[in-house]
Amino acid sequence: MSGRAILAATILATLAVLAATAAPASAHHVGAYVPRDNAVTTNFKQVKFSVQAKKYDVALRLFDEGPLRAEMRAQAATLPPGLEDGTRAALAAGDGPEVERSLMIFFAALARDLALEADRQLARPDATPETRVATGGKFLEAIWRYYNLVDFAVATRDNKASVAVRLAFDEAEAFVKPAAGGAAPADPAGMRVPLRRIAQALSTLIDASSTTPPSTTPRRNS
Amino acid sequence: MTEPDAPTWRVPPRWVLLVAVLSIVAAEVGGGSMARYKVELTRWAREGMLARPGVHGLVGVRDVDERILDEALVKFDAGLRLFHMHAEGMGLVIIATSMVAATVIRHAAARRAIIALLTTGGAGYPVGYLVWSALIPSHGLERAKTLAEWLIWVPFGSATIVALWCLAGTVAWSMLARRRA
């Protein structure tokens, strides 16, 4: 075999070795998952951006035909009375602040209900600490996904509620994170206290916001 | 006119070529099937996961469970895609590397062993992604990954890596021997 052939073989073999040894570095790479919006949060963003662009006719159509309104109907029992009709009326009237207030109440209610359900599931006596950590983490993720959408609106109207929810959320998150420095992991049942605080803060916010007269201009209370 | 010491590439054994071609064919069939039966496959995986809520940590709350199911379905789909990609690529790697081995390695037993490792490792490794995807609905994301790792990725991947290092060493050795001569 000629020198050229051996050189070609060397290059081929080296490339193959590099390719094969690079694979374990990405350790059987199985893809990264980026959480996506669900139908309700997607529709919320569509409505919100249409309202911000003052396209109330578009926002009304998106609300009428979208899953946001369907979800409001489905959750009507736990929402302040008339929230769905109020939201629709505000959209029809082109009242941006009122639309924002209604949607804030809706998502705060969704987050509150999740916090209450999380508290209930963490209280189950048959749940192991591992299950509690896993369940708690998933609930916190779901709570944040909804609350994060309206946190700015909450902070604009009731800064104390916003801070209370964030602090309680941070506290609850500490129970699902691995203990640092070899410290013993905290009892995940302890997460119930901040979860109840989240639910309480959001309930107070919903009650206060539901009694606010329509079209009241929000102002920062900090 | 021909050069006096023109390179003489040797074709690898037929069974090796057959395995490589089959691997590429499986990749193409897999890729086509995952596109053609996407809905059916997703439905099958979703039903499998819903039938085992404990395995997947489903809590019975839609807002929480949808996110879990979505992640598992994304990974299920990723496994099928990675099988398609790896089986295609490893088919070509088997052909290229076994040809180098057939040409460069003089010792018959060593040549056979390295070619066998390259072929089995190269053809087996991509199947791990298929196995991983198939196990997700019944065993959950992490358990399925662990099973695929220890049953397929580690043994077959190691076989390929070992064979490639041996091949590279042999090629280097023949270069040195040629210089000395």
- Residue A90 belongs to a domain: yes
> CA nearest A117 in B: which residue?
B61
CA distance A221 to chain B (A): 32
With beta carbons under 8 A apart, name residues in chain A contacting B143.
none
- Residue A222 belongs to a domain: no
pTM: 0.79
> CA-CA distance, B35 to B38, in Å (whole number)?
5
With beta carbons under 8 A apart, name residues in chain A contacting B6.
2
CB-based contacts of B24, cutoff 8 Å, min separation 6: B87, B88, B91, B92
> CA-CA distance, A162 to B137, in Å (whole number)?
39
Query: Per-10-residue mean pLDDT for chain B, 181 residues long?
Result: 63 96 96 95 96 93 93 95 95 95 91 95 96 96 94 95 93 84 75
- Residue A220 belongs to a domain: no
Calculate ∠ Cα A127-A108-A137, nearest 5°: 30
Give, for A156, the enclosing helix (H) or strand (E): helix A129-157
- Residue A23 belongs to a domain: no
With beta carbons under 8 A apart, name residues in chain B contacting A24.
157, 161
ipTM score: 0.73
Tens-digit pLDDT string for chain A (222 aa): 556 666 666 666 666 666 655 555 445 667 788 888 899 999 999 999 999 999 999 999 999 999 999 999 999 999 999 999 999 999 999 999 999 999 999 999 999 999 999 999 999 888 888 889 999 999 999 999 999 999 999 999 999 999 999 999 999 999 888 776 666 667 788 899 999 999 999 999 999 998 755 555 554 444
- How many domains, chain A? 1
Residues 77-116, chain B, touching A (beta carbon < 8 A): 78-79, 82, 93, 96-97, 100, 103-104
- Residue A125 belongs to a domain: yes
With beta carbons under 8 A apart, name residues in chain A contacting B171.
6, 9-10, 13
- Residue A219 belongs to a domain: no
Domain extent for A178: 3-15+31-211
- Residue A55 belongs to a domain: yes
Residue from A137, A139, A216, A146 nearest A177 by CA = A137
- Residue A166 belongs to a domain: yes
With beta carbons under 8 A apart, name residues in chain B contacting A3.
178
Residue B152, amino acid: I
Q: In this structure, how many other beta carbons lie within 10 angstroms of the beta carbon of residue B50?
A: 13
- A180 in the Ramachandran plot: left (φ > 0), alpha (ψ -120 to 50) or beta? beta
Flag whether residue A41 sits within 8 Å of chain B, measured between CB atoms.
Answer: no
Calculate ∠ Cα A14-B151-B30, nearest 5°: 75
Quick check: A16 and B97 CB within 8 A?
yes
Residues 151-180, chain B, touching A (beta carbon < 8 A): 153, 157, 160-161, 164-165, 167-168, 171-172, 174-175, 178
